[in-house]
Amino acid sequence: SVQMEDVEMGEAATQPADYVLSRVLIGHKGEVKSVASTSQGMILSGGRDETVRMWIGRRGEYSEHNSLPQQPKGAVVYSIAYYENDEAWRIFVGRKDGAISVYGSGSGNDPLITLKHHTSVVSCLHVDSVKGKLISGSWDNHIIIWPIEELTPGNEVIAALMCEGHTMSVWCVQSLNREDEFHFLSASADQSIRLWHNDQCIKEFKGHSDVVRSLVLLDSSHFVSASNDGCLALWNVENNSPLSVEKAPIDEFIYSMTLVGSDTLVTCGEGGHVIVWKVSEMRGKGAISHIQVMHTPVSSLWCVTALKNKDVVIAASDGRIFVLTRDESRMAPIDIRENLDAELSVRIAAQLQQQQEKESETVTIKVAIDDGNANMELKYVKGTGPSLAAEKFITDNNLPISYLNEITDYIKANIPEAINFAPKRRKVEHGGESGGKMHFSILVEDGRQLTCSFDQSDDPDQVAQEFVEKNGLQIKYLASTAQMVRKEQAKSNSVFYDPFTGGGRYVPEGNGGGMGMGGGDPLTGEGRYIPGASSGVGGGVAEGGDPLTSGGRYVPGASKDVLMPNASLPIDKKRPRGELCPLSKYFVFGAEQFSQKAYDRLVEDNEKSNEGVRLREDQLEMLKELAMKGPEGVRDEQMLVDTLNVGLEWGMEQLLPIVDLFRIALLNEDVNRYYSEGDRSSIIRERLFALLVSDSNDNLKAIVCRAICNLFHHEAGRKMISSEMKTFLPLLGIHLLSSKPILQLAAASALSNWALLLLQTSEKVCELGPREDGIREIVKTLESHLSFGGYREDALTRVLQAIATLMWGDVTVIKLAKSRKIVDIVNRIKDAVVDERSKSLCRDIVEMTFAV
* pLDDT more than 70, % of the chain: 81
Sheet containing 20-26, strands listed edge to edge, beginning at the edge strand earlier in sequence? 20-26, 320-325, 312-316, 301-306
Kindly report, residue by residue over 342-385, the tens digit of the pLDDT: 888 877 776 676 666 555 667 777 777 765 666 788 888 777 77
Least confident span in 2-16, 421-435, 458-472, 696-710? 2-16
Q: Is the pLDDT of residue 493 over 60?
A: no
Alpha helices in 712-835 (DSSP H): 715-722, 725-736, 741-762, 770-782, 793-807, 811-819, 822-832
Q: What pLDDT, on the 0 to 100 scale, is given for residue 798?
A: 94
Name the pLDDT band for 512 (thresholds 50, 70, 90): very low
User: Bigger pLDDT: 4 or 266?
Assistant: 266
**What confidence category does residue 749 fall into, taking pLDDT thresholds of 50, 70 and 90?**
very high
pLDDT at 322: 96
Residues 6+ apart with CB under 8 A from 75: 50, 95, 96, 97, 99
Is 233 contained in some domain? no
Residue 549 covered by a domain: yes
Strand 287-295 and strand 200-206: pairing? unpaired
762 domain-assigned: yes
The residue among 397 and 321 whose pLDDT is bigger is: 321
Question: Are 44 and 91 spatial neighbours (Cβ–Cβ below 8 Å)?
Answer: yes
Question: What is the number of domains present in the chain?
Answer: 3
Q: Check: CB of residue 745 under 8 Å from CB of residue 705.
A: no
Based on the fold, state whether residues 842 and 716 are members of the same structural domain. Answer: yes
User: If you ran DSSP here, which 8-state letter would residue 277 be given?
Assistant: E
266 pLDDT higher than 90: yes
Give the end of a domain, one of 538, 571, 604: 571
Read off the pLDDT of residues 131-141 as tens digits, 9 standing for 90 and up. 999 999 999 99
Average pLDDT on 617-626 reads 86
Beta bridge partners of 212: 227
pLDDT band per the 50, 70, 90 thresholds, residue 186:
very high
In a domain, 398, yes or no: yes
426 pLDDT exceeds 80? no
pLDDT > 60? residue 412: yes
Most confidently modeled range among 254-258, 403-407, 575-579, 833-837: 254-258
Angle at 763 between CA 778 and CA 676, to 5 degrees: 75
Q: What is the pLDDT of residue 138?
A: 94
Q: Among residues 419, 446, 461, which one ends one of the domains?
A: 419
Residue 361: per-residue pLDDT: 67
Structural domain of residue 530, as residue ranges?
499-571
What was the pLDDT predicted at 548?
45
What does the pLDDT average to over 770-780?
85
| Greatest mean pLDDT range, 277-291, 560-574, 668-682 | 668-682
Which of these ranges, 110-124, 430-444, 776-790, has the smallest mean pLDDT?
Answer: 430-444
Going by pLDDT thresholds of 50, 70 and 90, the confidence category of residue 24 is: very high
pLDDT over 90, % of the chain: 35
What is the tens place of the pLDDT at every residue in 633-687? Answer: 777 888 888 888 888 888 877 888 889 899 999 998 889 998 988 878 888 888 8
pLDDT band at 842 (very low <50, low <70, confident <90, very high): very high
* CATH at 367: 3.10.20.870
pLDDT of amino acid 232? 96
pLDDT band at 422 (very low <50, low <70, confident <90, very high): low
Q: Between these two residues, 593 and 638, which has the higher pLDDT value?
A: 638
Residue 251, domain member (yes or no): no
Of 42-46, 194-198, 590-594, 801-805, the poorest mean pLDDT is in 590-594
Residue with more model confidence, 608 or 103? 103
Closest CA to 732 of 699, 700, 710, 708: 708
Q: Is pLDDT larger for residue 554 or for residue 340?
A: 340
- In terms of Cα–Cα distance, which of 407, 406, 411, 480 is closest to 443? 480
DSSP letters, 804-826, are HHHHTT-HHHHHHHHHTTHHHHH
Higher pLDDT: 836 or 400? It is 836
Of these ranges, 96-105, 150-159, 450-459, the one predicted with the greatest mean pLDDT is: 96-105
Q: Which residue has the higher pLDDT, 821 or 852?
A: 821
User: Is it the case that residue 500 has pLDDT exceeding 70?
Assistant: no
pLDDT digits (tens, 9 = 90+) for 731-745: 888 888 888 899 999
The separation between CA 597 and the C-alpha centre of its own chain, rounded to angstroms, equals 44
What secondary structure, in 3-state letters, does 133-159 show? EEEEEECCCCEEEEEHHHCCCCCCCCC
pLDDT at 513 over 50: no
Residue 725 belongs to a domain: yes
Task: Give the CATH number for residue 790.
Answer: 1.25.10.10
521 and 414, same structural domain?
no
Residues 414 and 511 in one domain: no
Query: Are residue 529 and residue 413 in the same domain, yes or no?
Result: no
Q: Is residue 698 part of a domain?
A: no
Residue 806 lies inside a defined structural domain of this protein: yes
Which of 519, 550, 571 corresponds to the end of one domain? 571
| Structure confidence at residue 497 (pLDDT) | 45
Residue 452 above 50 pLDDT? yes
Position 265 confidence tier, pLDDT thresholds 50, 70, 90? very high
Residue 766 pLDDT exceeds 50: no
In 3D, which of 178, 209, 94 has the Cα closest to residue 142?
94
Of residues 474 and 49, which shows the higher confidence score? 49
Max mean pLDDT range (114-118, 378-382, 460-464, 642-646): 114-118
Mean pLDDT (the chain, rounded)? 81
| Full-model pTM | 0.47
Geometric angle at alpha carbon 94, from 90 and 99, rounded to 5°: 105
